[in-house]
Structure 1
Amino acid sequence: MTDDRYRSRKFALAAVSALVSHIALFSGQLEGGTWVAAQTLILGMYNAGNVGERYVKPD
């Protein structure tokens, strides 16, 4: 059984987005509240993508 959870485009996009927001936070481009909102949005979209994929994926 192969584990492809970390090889999807959804995961890569979420990981890159989180990395960019971390870099922006530590370089002073984002404030703490904005960073929290970005993380919430990133994780929410990733989870919605997972739910949507299971909904449309044939059994």
Structure 2
Amino acid sequence: MRISIDRDGCIGSGQCTLTAPALFAQDDVGIVYVLPEGSDGTDDPSVREAELACPVQAITVAED
């Protein structure tokens, strides 16, 4: 899976970091980024849950 973040669309709700804390973190202003463990793709099912939990659909998960 490849994880993409629309950092311009992110509102910093933190739902992704609550759902998949091993894959996502927030910077100093609350905008999400993918942690190195998830940047090269992952098969962790929580990434799909985080994608669905995002209230503004700023996370996109695509199959490689």
TM-score by length of 2: 0.29
Larger Rg: 1
Going by fraction, where is helix more abundant, 1 or 2? 1
Going by fraction, where is strand more abundant, 1 or 2? 2
Q: Return the structure number with greater relative CO, CA threshold 8 A, min gap 6.
A: 2
TM-score by length of 1: 0.30
